[in-house]
Amino acid sequence: MRTSILALSSPMVKAYDSYRDLLVLYTDEAEKLLTKIKESDINADYTLLRRSGLEDVFLKLTGRRLTE
């Protein structure tokens, strides 16, 4: 599934990180990208649209979420 999402979103994604069960996509076109993923036949279990924050910095530095 990750490969499919990355292939579908490649023109819009600046960078991405992949941790265990989490795929984080960095983009300036979040709404457009989310619509494109939902309209495809890819079954994403969970999606979240939000601005980056301190948890993203922690995740980038440690490879773990704050709740782990």
- Model-level pTM? 0.68
**3 state SS of 22:** strand
**Secondary structure (3-state) at 39:** helix
Residue 1's pLDDT is 76
Domain boundaries, the chain: 2-62
Inter-residue contact 30 to 49 (CB < 8 Å): yes
> What is the model's pLDDT at position 68?
57
**10-61 pLDDT, tens digit each:** 889 988 888 888 888 888 899 999 899 889 988 888 888 888 888 878 887 8
